[in-house]
Amino acid sequence: MKIELNGRRALVSGSSQGIGLAIATELARAGAAVVVNGRGQEKTSAAADQVRKEVPDADVTAIAADLASAEGAGALQDQVGELDILVNNLGIFGAKPVLEIDDDEWRRYFEVNVLSAVRLIRMYLPGMMERGFGRVMNIASDSAVVTPLEMVHYGMTKTALLAVTRGYAKAAAGTGVTVNSVMAGPTHTPGVEDFVHDLVGDDLPWDEAQRQFMKEHRPYSLIQRLIEPPEIGNLVVYLSSDLASATTGGAVRVDGGYVDSILP
């Protein structure tokens, strides 16, 4: 199956590293013009250079903006113009006992992980609907349906994204625009490496730390390893294409079989 996204323009929020950078790279590899985004210009520009390194003929633009604020989202919109593909990947996570999460922390997680996506959808969905084509994807997580005890506030935001996705998919019904959640499973990123070592100890070599983490904290994974970011990017590329025109309003899993259910 060869997917070509030539002539499409995509934005991946929070794409200066990790899953977002991998998604941006795979979209560029499929021919899309890609906007990478991060809070700092230096890191965002470095991410764009990394995409060009992987895809030498890539059409990639780096725009630094803090999308956790309305002002940052507006500043990005002024520079980007219209989009065909919107990937809401921006998110934060971290382990904290649920009884120690205060009001400000709950608000911060909701602002970054949920409202950043809502703002961008409000900005770009109407234009997509008018033109009769668009792809919106919210990067959710297995934590949306399997709430992790060590980060309930994070799981809450990913559950909210599933509802946001379904609601906006209904709003776009019959227009040629699809809106989906991508439920990523435990994924190998620098941030997750730090998270894993926080849980199992800093003194273990990475391979052993990963095995122990999966055994103790993610035991239901059917692949029994962390997912590599390009594996998530591949699903996003498919959902961005004309081939996925009948897939909308869904929570599409790329979780390594972690969620123990035949439905999300």
The 10s digit of each residue's pLDDT in 45-56 is: 999 999 999 999
Establish if 16 belongs to a structural domain.
yes
Residue 165 shares a structural domain with residue 236: yes
The active-site residue out of 109, 124, 154, 168 is 154
Query: What mean pLDDT do residues 201-209 have?
Result: 92
193 and 249 housed in the same domain: no
Give yes or no: residues 124 and 238 share one domain: yes
Question: What is the CB neighbour count within 10 angstroms for residue 114?
Answer: 21
The total number of structural domains that make up the chain: 2
- Residue 2 included in any domain: no
Here the tokens at position 26 are: 């795979």
Give the DSSP letter of residue 66.
-
Residues 158 and 44 in one domain: yes
Give the integer Cα–Cα distance in Å for 194 and 213: 12
Q: Taking Cα atoms as reference points, which of 1, 8, 19 lies closest to residue 190?
A: 19
Q: Residue range 62-85: average pLDDT?
A: 97
- pLDDT given for residue 82 in this prediction: 96
Residues 84 and 202 in one domain: no
238 classed as catalytic: no
Q: Is 68 helix (H, G, I), strand (E, B) or coil?
A: coil
Distances (CA, A) of 232 to 18, 68, 168, 185: 11, 23, 22, 9
CB 136 within 8 A of CB 178: yes
Residue 211 belongs to a domain: yes
pLDDT score recorded for residue 190 = 85
Whether 51 maps to a domain, the answer reads: yes
The answer to whether residues 231 and 183 touch, using CB atoms and an 8 Å cutoff, is no
- The verdict on 63 and 143 lying in the same domain is yes
Average pLDDT over residues 96-115: 98
Q: Are residues 23 and 80 in the same domain?
A: yes
Q: In what order do the strands lie in the sheet with 33-38?
A: 60-64, 33-38, 9-12, 85-88, 134-141, 177-184, 251-254
- Both tokens of 219, joined, read 């035991």
Q: Is 48 inside any structural domain?
A: yes
Residues 177 and 104 in one domain: yes
Q: Do residues 236 and 139 share a domain?
A: yes
238 found inside a domain:
yes
201 part of a folded domain: yes
Contacts of 171 (CB under 8 A, 6+ apart): 125
Q: What is the pTM of this model?
A: 0.95
Closest CA to 221 of 187, 196, 191, 249: 187
The residue range of the domain holding 97 is: 9-186+229-254
Q: Kindly state whether residues 195 and 175 are assigned to the same domain.
A: no
For residues 83 and 198, state if they share a domain. Answer: no
Q: Check residue 47 and give its pLDDT.
A: 98
For residues 44 and 150, membership in a common domain is answered with: yes
- Inter-axis angle of helices 190-200 and 206-217, to 10 degrees? 70
Q: Give the mean pLDDT of 248-261.
A: 96
**262: in domain:** no
CATH, residue 156: 3.40.50.720
Confidence of residue 2 (pLDDT cuts 50, 70, 90): confident
- Name every residue whose Cβ is closer than 8 Å to that of residue 211 and which is 6 or more positions away in sequence: none
Q: Which two tokens stand for residue 87?
A: 């990937």
DSSP string for residues in 135-203 = EEEEEEEGGGTS--GGGHHHHHHHHHHHHHHHHHHHHTTTTTEEEEEEEE-SB--HHHHHHHHHHH-TT
What CA–CA distance (Å, rounded) separates 177 from 31?
20
